[in-house]
Amino acid sequence: MGDQSTAKRRERALLVGVALPDIPLWDAEDSLDELSRLTDTALLVEAGRVLQSRERVDPTCYIGKGKVEEVKKLAGDLQADMLVFDNELSPAQMRNLEKRTDMRVLDRSAVILDIFSQHARTRTAQVQVELAQLNYLLPRLTRMWTHLSRQAGGGAIRGMGSAGVRGPGETQLETDRRMIRRQINALHAKLERIGKQMETSRKGRSDRFKVALVGYTNAGKSTLMRALSGSDVLVEDRLFATLDSTTRAVELEAKHKVLLTDTVGFIKRLPHHLFASFRATLEEAVEADLLLHVIDLSFPHYESQIKTVDGVLRDLKLEDRPVLKVFNKIDQIDPGQEREILQAHAEREDAVAVSAAQGIGLDALRTRIMSYSQANSIELNLQVPQAEGRLLAQLHGEGHILDERYEDNDVLLTVRMERHQAERWQLARFAVS
């Protein structure tokens, strides 16, 4: 009963997509499915959907003028409150559509921004959201003013604009544009400061092998994070359930820990200005020694999602970073299909199959991560006085002791440890050549 009353309070959206000749029909349909999940996360209810096949998008209304009338009638029949388009609309297209349908019109970018604003928890994510919103709003101010022009005094956008800040001969619209640009510059400066603070924080833990989970949204990254670390990480079947990266220490075997970070999921056609604004959310992936690319094997067209993620990693200039492909949700496919997929990918890159939810294949995954970590480690021969109890305890905590014997007042050790950690001990007076 509670769910029904909640649904009645949620606004209804008619989803509109366009299938172009260079996009397979299944891809356009899947994109609409993804938009449906996005609108659900934005607390909207899908009233219905329309998919039009066209040779090219209409520069005036995105869809054809006849289709606009058809969509308007369907929206009325379905009692939809708004239209949500599955692509980024230009300000002019949005204005024309609203004029011809007498309805509110949103595009994919606006929905994603709304979700981001709901789910931003840390100060970093909140600043990134605000910056992305302002970048989206700036070219659309003229359209916003058509809605606000009837308000007393011209109306202020997001509380901006007053006669007191207006220069000679300057319109309120120009004032708001100037103010938004000033805010954008201030937010860029704030993000730069935050970036430097994050860099300092990362340096403090640079002696650990760092692993980052990347992948298409809802591939099961957070579930895998919880399964490997045993920590209470948010797992929710909604797109962009979290924007903030989470880092946990994971013990692969006795005395061998790595840092594992869960990053924000990727989706199709994430607008470029959004990607630029949210780059800092992915900085943990940039700093990682190994990327675990988590793939939803139960999705029929998982290869297309792999391409999307690979494209984002190229944009981040991470093509040369070691990547271990983790095919997740093997409990939901045929065993023969699993073998076929792994064999196909084993020819090209390292791959492992798991079910994060069922705990299948996690030992094999830990072993594979361990092999990458050990490739990044070296052996040291050290001679430490027995009196240096604190340093000996530190060595036992940081490294894997391969050999330990006593000679006179010293302890002779052979230790395997991460390259970052070893560099510090190599410079100390205890290293034996």
At 349 the pLDDT is 61
Q: How far apart are the two ends of the chain, measured CA to CA in Å?
A: 74
What mean pLDDT, rounded, does the chain reach? 80
Mean pLDDT score, 169-187: 83
- CA-CA-CA-CA torsion for 9, 10, 11, 15, nearest 10 degrees? -150
User: Which tens digits make up the pLDDT trace of 220-277?
Assistant: 888 999 899 887 665 555 666 666 677 888 888 766 778 898 887 888 777 666 666 5
At 290 the pLDDT is 93
In the predicted structure, residue 170 carries a pLDDT above the cut 60: no
Mean pLDDT score, 174-196: 87
Q: How do strand 256-262 and strand 246-253 relate by DSSP bridges?
A: antiparallel
In the predicted structure, residue 86 carries a pLDDT above the cut 70: yes
Angle 261-202-256 from CA coordinates, rounded to 5°: 60
Tokens 């019109």, located at residue: 105
- Amino acid in position 321: R
CA distances (Å), origin 344, targets 153, 189, 294, 349, 352 = 65, 46, 17, 9, 12
Phi, psi (5° rounding) for residue 58? Answer: -80, 125
- The two structure tokens encoding residue 211: 């692993």
- The radius of gyration of the chain's CA atoms, rounded to the nearest angstrom, is 27
Output the DSSP codes for 60-87. TTBS-HHHHHHHHHHHHHTT-SEEEESS
- The two structure tokens encoding residue 401: 């002791």
* % of the chain beyond a pLDDT of 70: 77
At 168 the pLDDT is 46
At 58 the pLDDT is 94
Closest CA to 292 of 270, 309, 271: 309
Q: How do strand 410-418 and strand 377-385 relate by DSSP bridges?
A: antiparallel
Phi, psi (5° rounding) for residue 328? Answer: -100, 165
